[in-house]
Amino acid sequence: MPNSEISWSYIADQITRKRCTPLVSNQLILGALFPGGGVVAEWARDSQYPLSESSLPLVAQYLSVTYRDPYRAKSEYLQFLKQRYLAALEQDPAVDRIFLEQVRRERGLSVSQLVGDRLGYPARGDLENPLNLLAAFDMPVFLTTSPHLLLETALRNLDKRPRTEAYAWHAGLEELIPVDYRSDPGYQPTVAAPLVYHLHGLDECPESLVLTEDDHLDFLSSVLRDFREIGTIPNAVRNAISSTILLMIGYSTQSWEMRVILQELIRDQPRRPRSVAIQLDPLEMAAIRDLARFQDYVQMYLAQDKYRFDIFWGDPLTFLRQLWEAWQGGGG
């Protein structure tokens, strides 16, 4: 796929000027944790989801309704991810089985604590991992719609000191989010001590997850209000969204994640420079019937004046490698 509209030297220069902000999708995190995909479809089967078409919000909504308990649906999803990750590791002959069994028996670990803190993902020095490569850029603010703190692990792999904060998108959530992750209005992020801002909650606090369709609608109404009012969302985050180049990494145009973020956080930001959306190569998307029409549609949709995004067609690691070469070549 051609990517002739991407100005690598310009983006690299903006990184050097600390005027570039990545927005990392949960799809990217899940894809890195579970290569080959299929984790949502597997959860749908395990949950006896009755429809052939499944997505994370749809399956979570189904369980939330059938259980009459959104918290249970979210907790079971997080537990499924932990068990699925451990099961995958058991197939790796290089893994220390005794240590793995010790970790399995530990109670109360979140997904991030299990995968990142105890099992060391992503591994230090592995620049074939997109999270490690992204963490190596000089960026003071990282935005994400993933509830997993694995980008923080990647930053610590490089001896950076990330601060984690989470957006309180519904009433009462501010009191449920662990104290260490609540917003600090006075925090000034730097390259050495960046801010990682989680828009869709944290896996240590299941109530905070934006997971079901209802959650996305509630998030939509809250962020619409809070982004326009000074005080709720940190100024560093507001400024990053409104006045730096955004790199939207790993989002699908058909996902709730991207639609909500585009509509209420990104659109109509006149001071924001033209940005880049990294889109999966359509050749890898089985549901696409007409490749050329789909590509034209996505490019026209994101190029609209209210969004102003150029498109990179390809996987995130390929994009980050090319950007790294441009940045290093320019003295970044």
pLDDT tens for 69-107 read: 999 999 999 999 999 999 999 998 889 999 999 999 999
Q: What is the mean pLDDT of residues 38-64?
A: 92
Q: Tokens in use for 327?
A: 């940045």
Which amino acid is present at 40? V
Task: For residue 324, count other CB atoms closer than 10 A to its CB.
Answer: 18
CB under 8 Å to 79, separation ≥6 — which residues? Answer: none
Strand partners, 81: none
Q: For residues 128 and 196, what is the distance between their CA atoms, to the nearest angstrom? A: 21
Say which range, 18-22, 64-68, 215-219, has the weakest mean pLDDT.
215-219
- Judge: domain 8-33+125-329, CATH 3.10.590: no
Residue listed under structure tokens 């009462």:
172
If pLDDT is split at 50, 70 and 90, which confidence band does 270 have? low
Q: For residues 274 and 65, what is the distance between their CA atoms, to the nearest angstrom? A: 41
Q: What is the reported pLDDT for 229?
A: 78
If pLDDT is split at 50, 70 and 90, which confidence band does 60 have? very high
If pLDDT is split at 50, 70 and 90, which confidence band does 283 have? very low
Which pTM does this prediction carry? 0.92
For residue 244, CA distances in Å to 20, 35, 45, 53, 139 come to 5, 31, 41, 37, 11
Q: Can you give the residue ranges of every domain in the chain?
A: 8-33+125-329
Say which range, 25-29, 184-188, 191-195, 273-277, has the weakest mean pLDDT.
273-277
Mean pLDDT of the chain, nearest integer: 88
pLDDT tens for 153-171 read: 999 999 999 999 999 999 8
Q: What is the reported pLDDT for 301?
A: 75
| Own/partner pairs, 289-297, CB within 8 angstroms, 24+ separation | 295/1
Residue listed under structure tokens 């970790």:
103
pLDDT tens for 227-258 read: 877 778 899 998 998 889 999 898 877 677 77
